[in-house]
Chain A
């Protein structure tokens, strides 16, 4: 058993797509709560309280969305009060809250994804689909920090020449464009060496393969199968309206049956899967360490 982070990148990426798909498809309050709880549990189990500030920012976004919706949406039968002659309804607030919760859940999931999916993992996934695009991405990823460093060197050099002044705003702007321009020349002119180095090492002589450090083990296959199964069960529930909810004109939740229970169960397992794996790994380490 391995944590989601250490599984094959394809599995990691597909997990995050699978877990966010149901909440983006359907704004069902309970499903949203499960998703949110799962996303937060994963964040905290991995990084502790380090993301509090980001989360507070996300929370503010949720409240904003929840408040904005009733200002534009006046449907719904339960009128709470009037604002500037427009009705503010409970249904619109509920809808706004759900929309906000969806935003929050998706943001949290993608926050975890950004932490887990490093650039070389994306390259591994892309490489399987198109070796050439993956190579281009890899080259561009190298150039970004390189050019940033070069721009810094150019800024210093131009200042040392007395050609870059940052007194007034137009001066600074002109200076920055100058620095950018020098960097552009530098980057374009030296590209030829990179191209030569590629040719000299056989680029373009045939079909490329894409090498990646990651192996697809049996565990990855098993985990992927589990993820897809849980997703399929959840989608079954969603598409057959087993957990349907309507907001307008009045908030109505359909009768919840066995299928609904199955849907909730499947989605709960899906949402808490990475947390379980992380915790499991931590416990194992704890025991291993106490034996050492």
Chain B
């Protein structure tokens, strides 16, 4: 059991990860001369997720906040099971907007991980975790304008659906061709278009109808339980 007890060691690890990401990317490019795109990209994605998660364990998180984030993760996973619509990222975006950037990232990343227990894990999991997480994280960073205007929120929802698809297309292009080439990427983008549109439209519909009640519910919980 490797429980990292030492706080300094943990922060060192965090900085190490931060340095590792660009070095892996650079090293991967030169050392592997283009044949190692897949490994490099998976490593970079995994390390990015680790970077965001590092330090979470050290901070004191109240039980209520922890429960709240777990609930949001589960609801976000249910979002992926939603009939007709596929509002991936929508619930995570709401979490980011109302509960903050870190909660957003956790919700996004972990709902990707957990839904893949149902859809299948693979090297694509870190990509999904990163994509889903970072979009919710950014929503958290833009919390103020997004809370104020439903139009902006819907716009962000559409954008996050498209971006999610575009990020995942990088992965499928790299994975399918063992290297990155623009024409193949574009082909992937085009073939994935129906999905992209579905994600974007789903997010917009979902956020348009659910953002307000969802926000009211979360605000009430935050006030009532002092989270």
Contacts and interface: CB of A to CB of B under 8 A. Distances in A.
Given A73-B181, A139-B66, A144 B176 contact: no
A20 interface: yes
Contacts of A98: 178
Interface in A110-130: 110-111, 113-114, 117, 119, 128-130
A119 to B, nearest CB: 6
Contact of A141 (B3, B56, B114): B114
B183 interface: yes
Contacts of B225: 192, 195
Interface stretch (B133-141, B156-164, B192-200, B206-214): B206-214
Q: For the side of the interface on B, what is the size category?
A: 35 or more
A136 B187 contact: no
Nearest to A192: B225
Contacts of B167: none
Interface of B, secondary structure class, is helix
Contacts of B187: 68, 72
B1 A99 contact: no
Nearest to A65: B176
A69 interface: yes
A21 B43 CA distance: 11
Interface residues of A, number: 71
B177 to A, nearest CB: 5
Given A25-B35, A110-B120, A173 B57 contact: no
Interface in B169-227: 175-178, 181, 183-184, 187, 205-206, 209-210, 213-214, 217-218, 221, 224-225
B75 A187 contact: yes
A147 B74 contact: yes
B121 A113 contact: yes
Interface string A81-121: 00000000000000110111011001100110110010100
Given A114-B120, A183-B78, 8 more contacts: A73-B181, A148-B78, A176-B82, A177-B209, A180-B78, A187-B75, A195-B225, A204-B60
16 contacts: A27-B178, A96-B177, A102-B38, A102-B178, A113-B121, A128-B3, A136-B69, A136-B70, A137-B114, A140-B77, A140-B111, A141-B117, A144-B78, A151-B78, A173-B85, A187-B75
